[in-house]
Amino acid sequence: MKKVSIIILSLLVIILITGCGAAKKTEAKEQKLVCTTTEDEDGINIEEVISMTYKNDKLKFMTMEVNTKVTDSDVIENWDVFKESMAEENKEFDKDGVSLRVETNDQTYEYKVILDIDVDNASQEALEEQGFGDLKDDDSTLESSKEAAEQDGAVCVIK
C-alpha cells in the first residue's frame, strides 16, 4: 500500500510541475504600439500620439493624445474663442472604461485632448458616444494596425 501511495504522490507532483511549466509558456505577451502624426497648417500645429497596448495580439488599452498648439498671431489674439470652439467638440467624459479629459495652457497656447479606452471594460454605449463603436469588434493585430497607421502617414514604434 505504501508503494501505491508513493507512486500516486509522485504522479501528482509530476503533473503539478509540468502543469505549472506549461502555464509559464502561455503567459500573455504584452506589446505597445505608439504612432505619431504631426500637421502644421495655418499657424496651428497638431500632434497626435496614439498608444495601443496589445496582449497576445489583441487590443486591450488605447490612449490618444491630440495636442494643438497655436502659433498664428491672429488665432492667439482670439485664444478664448478658439478654446470655446474646441471645448464644444471635446466635452470631458468619464464613463464605463472610457475617459476624455482636456488640458489647456494659456501661456503656450496649447489645447490637449486625452482619450483613454480600456477596451475590455468599456461599455458599448460609452464607446459609441466617443465615436469608437466598432472598437470591440476590431480584430486588427499589432502589425496590421502599424501598417495601416504608417500608410496614413504616421510614424510608429513597437515597444
CATH code, 88: 3.30.1830
Domain membership of residue 126 as a residue range: 28-158
Is residue 151 one of the residues assigned to a domain? yes
Distant-in-sequence, close-in-space partners of 83: CB < 8 Å, separation ≥ 6: 104, 111
Mean pLDDT of the chain: 86
As for how many domains the chain has, the answer is 1
Is residue 12 one of the residues assigned to a domain? no
Structure confidence at residue 151 as a pLDDT band (50, 70, 90): very high
Q: Is the pLDDT of residue 22 over 70?
A: no
* Beta sheet of 98-105, edge-to-edge order: 93-95, 98-105, 110-118, 58-70, 44-55, 30-41, 155-158
Is residue 113 one of the residues assigned to a domain? yes
Structure confidence at residue 6 as a pLDDT band (50, 70, 90): very low
**pLDDT tens figures, 34-81:** 999 999 998 899 999 999 999 998 999 999 999 999 999 988 999 999
> For residue 131, what are the CA distances in angstroms to 40, 80, 115, 127, 134?
25, 26, 11, 6, 8
Q: Is the pLDDT of residue 17 over 70?
A: no
Is residue 59 one of the residues assigned to a domain? yes
pTM metric for this prediction: 0.79
Structure confidence at residue 19 as a pLDDT band (50, 70, 90): low
Give dist(CA 71, CA 128) in Å, integer.
Answer: 33
State the pLDDT at residue 26: 55
**Is residue 102 within 8 Å of 92, Cβ to Cβ?**
yes
Is residue 21 one of the residues assigned to a domain? no
Q: Which residue carries 495655418 as its cell?
A: 42
Is residue 125 one of the residues assigned to a domain? yes
Amino acid at 117: I
Amino acid at 81: V
Give dist(CA 154, CA 157) in Å, integer.
Answer: 10
Is residue 50 one of the residues assigned to a domain? yes
**Is residue 103 within 8 Å of 83, Cβ to Cβ?**
no
**Is residue 74 within 8 Å of 58, Cβ to Cβ?**
no
Is residue 13 one of the residues assigned to a domain? no
